[in-house]
Amino acid sequence: MNVLIIFAHPEQRSLNGTIKNTAVAHLEAAGHQVEVSDLYQMNWKSAVDGADYQHNQEERLFVGNASKSALENQTLSPDIVAEQAKVLRADLIIFQFPLWWFSMPAILKGWVDRVFTKGFGYGTGKRYGGGKLLGKKGMLIVTAGSDTHSFSLNGINGHMDDLLFPIHHGIMWYSGITPLAPFIVHEANHIPEERVAAALQALKARLDSLETLPPIQYYSSVAGDYDENELLKTHLRGDKSGFAVHRKPSASLALNEVVDTDSTSAIHQ
């Protein structure tokens, strides 16, 4: 399997750095081909601008049209072209990041903004279960500062499933990538060494299960699950509400299933 890791943390000596290094070593030892885009080390430019598309500054910039034209005419910025090539080579794309302000770091969002251009990540005529990236899998590796209780249904931070919905559904599934359940390490700011070791073992077990891990199953516009107004068809809605409406009933996978049942551990997936 070809694996691409998009890594977004500024410190190599951080917990995230240790997790990334462990993932790379374990995947390569298992025979997988691994590429890493270390965004901070690359000094990745986050902001979209006309230079990305060799756009004439005298003309008004329409980002979608300009990016599609640049993709078709092979005038995209070389750094975007290089990342798109990595994405096309990958069977699995891992986005790894610390949860900052309830989302991904800006540098990672900027990677998505610039790399998933019109005609590549969107604007292909098929979305939410179709598109150019159909057939690829995606997985999040996330560290969070708070414990699992605060990210539960009644937790003050909101349910982790909801916080990650814009990435799982709005980025991955929108562009055709099938999302797998995320690997989450809670209480990451003050994690003791013994729990780091437990987390790394859990990570290795997760990576060993990539071929058989059930996906998060969302309804698909390509499959006709939504009507002409892009509303989920009535017979599919059930009694769910909010983001959960868009997940199929068979997708009963608990995204925060406990890996280590020791009450002193907060390693979840």
Q: Which of 175, 188, 145, 190 is nearest to 163 (CA)?
A: 145
pLDDT for the residue numbered 259:
36
Tens-place pLDDT, residues 107-122: 999 999 999 999 999 9
Q: How confident is the model at residue 207 (pLDDT cuts 50, 70, 90)?
A: very high
Half-sphere exposure of 22 (CA within 13 A, CB side): 22
Task: Tell me the one-letter amino acid at 156.
Answer: I
In whole angstroms, what is the distance from residue 241 CA to residue 258 CA? Answer: 25
- Ramachandran bin of 54, using left for φ above 0, alpha for ψ from -120 to 50, beta for the remaining angles: left
Is residue 95 within 8 Å of residue 37, measured between CB atoms?
no
- Provide, rounded to the nearest whole percent, the portion of the chain with pLDDT above 90: 81
Q: Check pLDDT > 60 for residue 251.
A: no
pLDDT for the residue numbered 193:
86
Q: Check pLDDT > 60 for residue 252.
A: no
In whole angstroms, what is the distance from residue 163 CA to residue 158 CA? Answer: 7
Tell me the mean pLDDT in the region 15-33: 97
Q: Which of 263, 192, 181, 190 is nearest to 218 (CA)?
A: 181
pLDDT for the residue numbered 241:
87
In whole angstroms, what is the distance from residue 119 CA to residue 116 CA? Answer: 8
Domains of the chain: 2-268 (3.40.50.360)
Tell me the mean pLDDT in the region 22-29: 98
Q: Check pLDDT > 50 for residue 135.
A: yes
Q: Check pLDDT > 70 for residue 263.
A: no
pLDDT for the residue numbered 250:
64
Q: Check pLDDT > 80 for residue 9.
A: yes
pLDDT for the residue numbered 249:
84
Burial of 125 per CB tally in 10 Å (0-12, 13-18, 19+) = exposed
pLDDT for the residue numbered 256:
41
When the pLDDT of each residue in the chain is averaged and rounded to a whole number, the result is 91
